[in-house]
Amino acid sequence: MDSLRAKPIELIFSVLGLIIIFSACNSTAELPRLVQPPKPDGTLSFLVVGDWGRRGSYNQSQVALQMGKIGKDLNIDFLISTGDNFYDDGIISPYDSQFQDSFTNIYTASSLQKPWYSVLGNHDYRGNVYAQLSPILRDLDCRWICLRSYVVNAELVDIFFVDTTPFVDKYFDEPKDHVYDWRGVLPRNKYLTNLLTDVDVALQESMAKWKIVVGHHTIKSAGHHGVTIELEKQLLPILEANEVDLYINGHDHCLEHISSINSGIQFMTSGGGSKAWKGDVNHDWDSQEMRFYYDGQGFMSVYISEAKLRVVFYDGFGRVLHRWSTYKKGVYSDI
């Protein structure tokens, strides 16, 4: 990634006739920016899945099958992975068979042959981080796009991908038997300070009608991991100050929608790509905040137009579990 940030770069990436231009800024104080064209009518549709990479097991293949069907129905433009892309310990090299077995050979539907914008999760940091960031993976499967932190500009929406794992204290203070690949992150305080500044500046400069932030870790959640205190303290104030519309994460192996009572931010968890944690939920949430929780496998879709944003959650059989929509000026419906 350091080399990507060091100089301007433009790559032409084609998937089924779709051309996407990638451009990285030449300043180390700016996040790399990728360009994702919307449909001719200006709208966008995409799927979000997280915590999936298990070589098809724990119903990963079943979820992938339904993603293919919904992706076709919605004519999606791209997909987002919320991290923990490869279990249990990331990948060891760009040629690790885990990449083919958990990604290329699983998400085979024609509708899923679109760009996959991905972030790293804590399990990915237990492997070779540079392998997941390597352009070699894009040579092996041109859908794969993974950087630490970056922005996808899609005209009416800017999507900000944030590397959240280095924020979490316990990975440094109490790693147990796990070994994390902190290359490119240390010294940690400098890395986090620069990242928070970069995200804040990018959000302030955004002229898009909608702003979405994606990270692996929860900010608010009733699931197993619950609230991530470090992100609540350090990242959330920046999101609130910049009027972010959605924060989308994985980490908790569930599907979830929480509304902020302090701002307009909606917190969406899509971490049901494979292994789920049945019954592992904290019920001590205000009903005004907790809009939806499902402790099984599944994924979510997002549709965006100039005036409207719609989120739909699906289970592993493709059944609709929860719908939520908003106009730019306020909530439209909650079904």
Residues with catalytic function: 225
Measured distance CA(108)–CA(328) in Å, rounded: 35
Measured distance CA(42)–CA(77) in Å, rounded: 12
Which 3 state secondary structure label does DSSP give 20?
strand
**41-64: b or e for each residue (b if 16 or more CB lie within 10 Å)?**
eeebbbbbbbbbbbbbebbbbbbb
CB neighbour list of residue 59: distance below 8 Å, 6 or more residues apart:
274, 297, 316
Written in H, E and C, the secondary structure of 201-258 is HHHHHCCCCEEEEEECCCCCCCCCCCCCHHHHHHCHHHHHHCCCCEEEECCCCCEEEE
- Looking only at Cα atoms, what is the longest distance across the chain? 51
Measured distance CA(203)–CA(177) in Å, rounded: 37
Sheet with 116-118, edge to edge strand ranges: 144-146, 116-118, 78-81, 44-49, 298-304, 308-315, 320-327, 330-334
Work out whether the CA dihedral 104, 107, 108, 111 comes out positive or negative: negative
